[in-house]
Amino acid sequence: MKRDDVRNIAIIAHVDHGKTTVVDSMLKFSGQFDVKNDEVQDMVLDSNPLERERGITILSKCTSVNYNGNTINIVDTPGHADFGSEVEKVLKMVDGAILMVDAAEGPMPQTRFVLRKALALGLKPIVIINKMDKPHINPSGVVDDVFDLFMKLGATDEQLDFPILYASGRDGWASKTMEEKGADIKPVFDVIFERVPPPYADDTKPLQMQITMLDYNNFLGHVGIGRILNGSVRKGQPVALVNGREGAAPPKISKAVRIDKFAGLGKQEVEEARAGDIVSIAGLEGVEVGDTVCGIYDIAPLPPLSIDEPTVSMDFLVNDSPFAGREGKFLTSRHLKSRLEKEAQINVGLKVETIDGEGRFKVSGRGELHLTILIETMRREGFELAVSSPEVIYKTKNGKLCEPMEYLTLDIDSSHQGTVFELVGSRAAKLENMAAEGDRMRLEYIIPSRALIGFKNEFLTNTRGEGIMHHSFYDYMPKTNLSDLRTNGVFIAKERGRTTAYALDNLQISGRLFVGPGLEVYEGMIIGQNSRDKDLVVNPCKQKKLTNMRSKSADDAAILTPPQIMNLEQAVEYIAPDELAEVTPESIRLRKKILNHLTRKRLNKNEEGEE
């Protein structure tokens, strides 16, 4: 059986290639909201504050548009490979995908990543060459590059026969030819109904619906979102929750308290939903991503979701600094454990383990961005915590120790070629491809994931902020020899107090400061970077001594260089294995794991003696 009145599609693309803006245009064209005096908000699906600040999609979103009496369920997916688990689980509940590619940039690392996932599931993508309104576009060249990418990823003959549209999501038009500008976004709707197959659905079979996303309602409890594969479900119906993975818990009996279909930017409550529909069901207590919702007398779990393993881990610890509890609301190990367990239920690409010691957890994810987004979210919720430097997760393959590798793409001005070659070469990168495009160059490398820790800041500095970099997971390969990436030591505060301009003026001669005058610090806190390779314990709170003598320069005011203020990502990338980043709702501080200088010194001597 087929539901000819329904189409289920996902929008996939590299980050910033226009997925969300095209969905905006589709919503506007279908009349889901009115455009009056520029009151309509752009990127309406990116409702998370972090998504708006960074201009990226972090969480998959469902929406629905009505076209000629038919329903198109659309899922907007993230472009960053760090949120690849969101892409993987969403592609399981759709029958087609729209691949967005920038008309100037062409296929990028995450384009490869999301397309590989779609092709592996047998989807036949529709290609939209977007941003046709940009200057210096090359749509014919981009189409050739897209076809080559399909070939490299092993697309079938049917998948290679993909339709192509040319569009400007920002201006709200699409066209079947690259030479003409379309009148509206209607061609996208037409090609969806021409090329995306209707969902196969059998209402007569027992209920089967796999949960791919979770939500929570303060009044109705846990909410599971997914596509009904077979059967139907009515409001108030008892249902069973069962997971198809080996060794899973026995079925849990629950109740479909409320059923909602997606309608434009919101939801519409319905009494019943049937096979082919993408719905949210409220009241499913204890539901987890990957669970199958079944009838209580016909329990038949679907195969578990297959999600790529994490590649990077960090330690999350209870904040034990002298300033703990000043700025946050949630401070204890109980708060931290509860929050991380809740996140792990929703974020299937995340793993949380309890490690030795009170209030210590190892959190593993798909990349630095994946984990720092979680930390930033927690600090905005009022959490205080300390986090360690990121560490890659090694695997043993064929008796060899292997590490995760990334496919790195750099777009630089040709004048920076030498410095970038030197920078990347020191990080054990292997050049895969190099192409000149006017005054700019595109460099493609395979590089160890650990070599990218702290790379972005150095790359932007060396290219004067003009370089563009993207990377995505490539594969596990034999571990490479890589020297320490941080070659400088740090200034460590000797005691607790308030910094003075006099002390900082003397220190800035020997390095770079992270703090300004008048700031309260504590023993073991990192207040700057030494120009040499050794850590140095200093007193940034030293006062100028008063004497009865005067000299010509005695009363000269100290002229301080503005301190380097790090954001969360920069702080996490900077810290060494023996250091922590203290994260609170108001501050980000760097510190040594062991705050006391003598204890730290004694421990280092013991370690040197053991060696």
Of 451, 478, 505, which closes a domain?
Answer: 478
284/241 Cα distance (integer angstroms): 8
Residue 188 shares a structural domain with residue 270: no
Residue 168 shares a structural domain with residue 92: yes
In a domain, 373, yes or no: no
pLDDT band at 340 (very low <50, low <70, confident <90, very high): very high
Which range (41-50, 54-63, 175-184, 480-489) has the least confidence?
41-50
> Which residues are registered as beta bridge partners of 537?
492
Q: Which domain holds residue 257?
A: 208-295
Amino acid at 573: E
In a domain, 69, yes or no: yes
Overall pTM surpassing 0.75 (yes/no): no
Q: What is the pLDDT of residue 550?
A: 53
315/319 Cα distance (integer angstroms): 12
Report the run of H or E that residue 334 belongs to, with start and end: helix 333-346
User: Residue 599 pLDDT more than 70?
Assistant: yes
Q: For 535-557, what is the mean pLDDT?
A: 71
In a domain, 484, yes or no: no
Residue 50 structure tokens: 């972090």
Residue 163 shares a structural domain with residue 245: no
273 versus 611: the higher-pLDDT residue is 273
Q: For 265-270, what is the mean pLDDT?
A: 83
User: Residue 35 pLDDT more than 80?
Assistant: no
Tell me the CATH number at 600.
2.40.50.250
Q: What is the pLDDT of residue 547?
A: 61
Residue 450 shares a structural domain with residue 500: no
Residue 188 shares a structural domain with residue 214: no
In a domain, 108, yes or no: yes
User: Residue 45 pLDDT more than 70?
Assistant: no
Residue 35 shares a structural domain with residue 95: yes
Q: Residue 398 in contact with residue 331, Cβ under 8 Å? A: no
In a domain, 225, yes or no: yes
Closest CA to 43 of 346, 31, 58: 58
Tell me the C-alpha to C-alpha distance, in Å, between residue 50 and each of 329, 371, 571: 21, 13, 18
Q: What is the pLDDT of residue 490?
A: 93
Q: What is the pLDDT of residue 522?
A: 94
Q: For 129-144, what is the mean pLDDT?
A: 89
User: Residue 441 pLDDT more than 90?
Assistant: no
Q: For 152-158, what is the mean pLDDT?
A: 90
Tell me the CATH number at 31.
3.40.50.300
- Over residues 504-531, the pLDDT tens digits come to 998 999 999 999 999 999 999 999 999 9
Of 260, 277, 295, which closes a domain?
Answer: 295
Q: For 468-484, what is the mean pLDDT?
A: 83
User: Residue 440 pLDDT more than 70?
Assistant: yes
Of 235, 265, 295, which closes a domain?
Answer: 295
Residue 454 shares a structural domain with residue 399: yes
Tell me the CATH number at 254.
2.40.30.10
Q: What is the pLDDT of residue 593?
A: 92
Q: What is the pLDDT of residue 56?
A: 46
Closest CA to 214 of 301, 289, 304, 291: 289
Q: What is the pLDDT of residue 549?
A: 56
Q: For 441-470, what is the mean pLDDT?
A: 85
Q: Residue 19 in contact with residue 128, Cβ under 8 Å? A: no
Closest CA to 588 of 606, 605, 574: 574
E-only strand ranges, 117-275:
126-130, 164-168, 173-175, 208-217, 221-230, 232-234, 238-242, 252-255, 258-263, 266-270, 272-274
Percent of the chain at pLDDT exceeding 90: 29
Total structural domains in the chain?
Answer: 4
469/460 Cα distance (integer angstroms): 9
pLDDT band at 491 (very low <50, low <70, confident <90, very high): very high
Q: What is the pLDDT of residue 587?
A: 92
Residue 11 shares a structural domain with residue 41: yes
Percent of the chain at pLDDT exceeding 70: 89
Average pLDDT value for the chain: 83
Residue 155 shares a structural domain with residue 276: no
Q: What is the pLDDT of residue 335?
A: 93
Residue 510 shares a structural domain with residue 595: yes
Q: Residue 402 in contact with residue 476, Cβ under 8 Å? A: yes
Q: What is the pLDDT of residue 498?
A: 93
In a domain, 337, yes or no: no
Q: What is the pLDDT of residue 401?
A: 92
- Over residues 49-88, the pLDDT tens digits come to 554 454 444 445 678 888 888 888 888 776 555 455 567 6
Q: What is the pLDDT of residue 39?
A: 37
Tell me the CATH number at 418.
3.30.70.240
pLDDT band at 466 (very low <50, low <70, confident <90, very high): confident
Judged by DSSP in three states, 210 sits in: strand
Q: What is the pLDDT of residue 86?
A: 62
Residue 151 shares a structural domain with residue 80: yes
Q: What is the pLDDT of residue 165?
A: 93
In a domain, 485, yes or no: no
Q: What is the pLDDT of residue 49?
A: 52
| Angle 23-28-34 from CA coordinates, rounded to 5° | 145
In a domain, 55, yes or no: yes
Q: Residue 153 in contact with residue 119, Cβ under 8 Å? A: yes
Residue 62 shares a structural domain with residue 155: yes
